[in-house]
Amino acid sequence: MARFFLLFCAAVFLLNFFALDVHSEVPQYEKLPDQDIRPLAYDIKLLPWMDTKDWLLEGETKIIFSSENGASVLSFHFHHWPPLYFEIVFDDLDHNVTIQSVTFNDTTDQVKVQLGEELQAGGTYEMYVKYEFIMTEEPSGQGIFKREYQEFGETRENTPGWLWATYATTQLMSTYLVAIVIGKFSVLYEPSIVPVFAFALPSRIEEASVAVQSSAFILEYFGNTWLNFSYSFPEMSVVPIESHPFGAMENWGLVQFNPSLFYYLEGRDLIAQEKSVIRVVSHELAHQWFGNLVTMDWWSQLWLNEGAASFYQYFGADAYDPEGKWMDRRAVLGVQPGYYTDAFTTALPISQEVYDGSFEFAQGSIIYRKGCAIHTLLLNILGNAYFEGTTQYFKDYGYENTRNADFLNALQQAADEESLNLPTELSYIMEGYLYRSGVPLVRVTRSYEDLQESVYFRQERFLLDGDDDDGSRYFIPFRYITSGRSEESEIS
């Protein structure tokens, strides 16, 4: 039976909010200016007119925020300014803060509010906006979300009227992970570490079986086995969205898919379609930890999210579908395409120590595929310490924002605890791979001069659009054996 469902993960917000699409060309994004305020909670009320008013979505948002050191200017993101109603109230609710001026930049969707007074340091305030959803659209603009949804039905007095459905408050999360899905869906259920649901069009609900079954298995596998850190939300839902602009989006607890990567019907579709569904499901579920539980501090270090998800997706898929040769697929699909993109002089580094709008995104293939290759390198260097360090990373930084150094330090600590004899600090080993573009080419030659056998290694940058070695060098650990020794030796 088809029913109207309002799905929250809070999850792709259907109000045209800024979304990050590294699958295609990514526009430059202007960061909000530094300001001494911190969002604490977002209280969202929505009234969707599903059958009338052309699906108009009315609503109201209350943002509770604190003033760290006092501030007289507020900046935030807003789409389609101005709202129907806007005010800022001090926490005792009997003092409206004076607003001197409001300016809106329709290129960046940023609103700047000049206050007529300075906010009190340490004070808590509430901002009310009617009709549109409003937020500080930054990875670090975290808060908890409480959602209420109004629908027409039978009131307690058994008379027609509007009812409010109130949803549980979320954990602390970044605002770009918030989304709402409203539609007429049928639903499938699978038990896992939390209940897992697949919502789909009633006419296609049977095609959602692989998506919901793989989601239930892989979610439990990641939480209990591979990542050894429990999933944080009380349920998981997966849903296809017609004309979804990306392949999928990892919104916390409500993963959305383009239908082409969600539906599969045995006997009608090719096996390749089933494999695509499994791979994308595994990728988005890996994001529930890498990106959602721990979020990069700024988009310049997006590889912390996408590189890890691109790496772990093959382990989740392999556990669910052990005959799929997923480790072979990781090499062919997950790593090698990144080498190609990175082998041009126009390639950009996968990451930058830049925390404003001045950075340039690397190509999506580099962020995803080279990110996968970097995690493969880390696993080969560290062995079990890689997984121990990753678990510690979640424990140390859950519900927080991180930078490259935080992740590498967690791995370094695990390596030290296991007494690994690394040739140097892990941060130094990884510096070239993170902050320089390019693929290293190593030439190995053997020499027998004076009856002495020697092996020489020479490194240069591999390029497909020229032979001008720019001098980029990378720290490359090697393991080798000789005819006279059965155990491995290492050089760097």
Nearest to 150 by CA among 41, 9, 44: 44
Digit-coded pLDDT (tens) for 44-54: 888 777 666 66
Other CB atoms closer than 10 Å to residue 131's CB: what's the count?
18
Residue 377 is inside which H or E element, if any?
helix 371-382
The token duo for 470 is 């720019």
Maximum pairwise Cα distance, the chain: 101
Confidence grade of residue 225 (pLDDT, cut at 50, 70, 90): confident
Give the chain's mean pLDDT: 83
What is the pLDDT at residue 133? 46
Confidence grade of residue 208 (pLDDT, cut at 50, 70, 90): very high
Mean pLDDT lowest for which of 70-84, 143-157, 461-475?
A: 143-157
Other CB atoms closer than 10 Å to residue 221's CB: what's the count?
20
- Confirm if 176 and 140 have CB atoms less than 8 A apart: no
Hey, where are the domains in the chain? 36-137+140-173, 438-492
Residues pairing with 145 in the sheet: 42
The number of helices, as runs of H, and strands, as runs of E, in the chain is: 10, 22
Please state, in angstroms and rounded to a whole number, the distance separating the CA atoms of residues 87 and 98.
9
The token duo for 165 is 């459905």
Question: What is the distance, to the nearest Å, from the Cα of residue 470 to the centroid of all Cα atoms in its chain?
Answer: 33
Q: What is the DSSP string of 168-206?
A: PPPPSB-GGG--EEEEEEEEEEE-SSS-EEEEE-GGGGG
The CA-atom distances, in angstroms, between 160 and each of 16, 47, 50, 151, 184 are: 32, 16, 17, 11, 21
Please state, in angstroms and rounded to a whole number, the distance separating the CA atoms of residues 214 and 238.
11
What is the pLDDT at residue 412? 98
What is the pLDDT at residue 145? 61
Other CB atoms closer than 10 Å to residue 257's CB: what's the count?
25
Mean pLDDT lowest for which of 75-89, 118-132, 231-245, 321-335?
A: 75-89
The type of residue at 317 is: A
Nearest to 295 by CA among 145, 402, 387: 402
User: What is the CATH code of the structural domain delimited by 36-137+140-173?
Assistant: 2.60.40.1730
Please state, in angstroms and rounded to a whole number, the distance separating the CA atoms of residues 30 and 76.
12
Digit-coded pLDDT (tens) for 400-418: 999 999 999 999 999 999 9
Question: What is the distance, to the nearest Å, from the Cα of residue 229 to the centroid of all Cα atoms in its chain?
Answer: 17
Digit-coded pLDDT (tens) for 436-482: 999 899 999 988 887 777 888 899 999 998 777 777 789 988 777 77
